[in-house]
Amino acid sequence: MATVIIRPDAIISNTGFNHGTNTAAHSFDNDNATYAQQSSRTASLVYGLADLDAGLSGATINSYTISGYGKGGRAGAFSADLKLTDASGADVASAETETWGGTLSTQTTTADTTQNDGSALTFAYINGCRLSFDPNNQGAFLYEIYVTVDYTAASGYGHI
């Protein structure tokens, strides 16, 4: 099995995150020196995800995890719900709550292995997903967020 990281490529919605120098887009620029800072007690981010490489279209998608690299803000710690939704906004799986302390750390969800209807994950399904980050009201600094997809490459040509 192999893995590939897919990062957000757009912000679908942004509530309660700083629009100054440290914009919400900094949370997916693959630069650990920049961040999105929660600026309101009520906050959330919904990202569009980059597509998987077309070369993986024949691969078996085994699972995915969501990882966030961040630290607590004004309260010294925070927790956030992380989840994927499909294009219609329905949850791919239940949100998982992760907790960060006052120093930079990466928190990762448990691997999800199925679509919201219980069927196997597919290349097309992952490509249609959005990523949600919903922090509590304690203040968050989000430096990076990404999805790691575990897959098994297609093998052989199917010819004799």
Task: Quick: pLDDT tens for 37-81.
Answer: 999 999 999 999 999 999 999 999 999 999 999 999 888 899 999
CA 142/CA 133 separation, integer angstroms: 10
Nearest CA-CA partner of 8 in 106, 94, 135, 129? 129
Instruction: Give the model's confidence band at 89: pLDDT under 50 very low, under 70 low, under 90 confident, else very high.
Output: confident
Separation in Å, CA 58 to CA 61, 121, 148, 154? 9, 12, 18, 6
CA 120/CA 42 separation, integer angstroms: 34
Q: What is the pLDDT of residues 13-47, one digit of tens each?
A: 999 997 555 677 788 888 888 888 999 999 999 99
Q: Does residue 158 have a pLDDT over 60?
A: no
Question: Considering the entire predicted model, what is its pTM?
Answer: 0.90
139: left (phi over 0), alpha (psi -120 to 50) or beta: left
Supply the pLDDT for residue 94: 83
Q: Does residue 6 have a pLDDT over 60?
A: yes
